[in-house]
Amino acid sequence: MKVYFAGSIRGGRIDANLYERLIKYIQKTDIVLTEHVGNLNLSEEEQTVTDIYNQDTNWLRESDVLIAECTCPSLGVGYELAYAERFQIPCHIFYNKNRTSLSAMLAGNAFYNIHPYEDESEIYPIIDSILQKECDS
């Protein structure tokens, strides 16, 4: 299965270590198209913003599921979620409820599968369920 993992890049890298662990976990069984999101040394590369947009929207359309970690707010992740909704790509949003409140525009939209958590260990069984469910459909 092809997974589009979304996490904050320009909005802040405070959760980059978490992104890296989640991506490596998903990669045990599936393909993560956006593995760079978990790169702890991610920097502005030679790609133009247009190239980044085109690459990311192509990956979104190619993906089977979007998994987003939204504890650190990001305009780009919000856009990716709306883009995925437009193409009916299943979306799963994780956020640490002890650190943030999820935007009402996401929380109030029945299209999104919302997964609040308090501890990282709660995320992995949910990811297993998501990947198995999407694989079976």
pLDDT in tens, 54-83: 999 999 999 999 999 999 999 999 999 999
* pLDDT tens-digit readout, 87-106: 999 999 999 999 999 999 99
pTM above 0.85, yes or no: yes
Please return the burial class of 134, using the count of CB atoms within 10 Å of its CB with bins 0-12, 13-18 and 19+: middle
CA angle 77, 81, 84 (to 5 degrees): 135
Share above pLDDT 90 across residues of the chain, in percent, rounded to a whole number: 80
- Spatial separation of the C-alpha atoms in residues 65 and 2, rounded to whole Å: 7
- Spatial separation of the C-alpha atoms in residues 83 and 86, rounded to whole Å: 5
- Spatial separation of the C-alpha atoms in residues 118 and 25, rounded to whole Å: 19
Q: How confident is the model at residue 130 (pLDDT cuts 50, 70, 90)?
A: very high
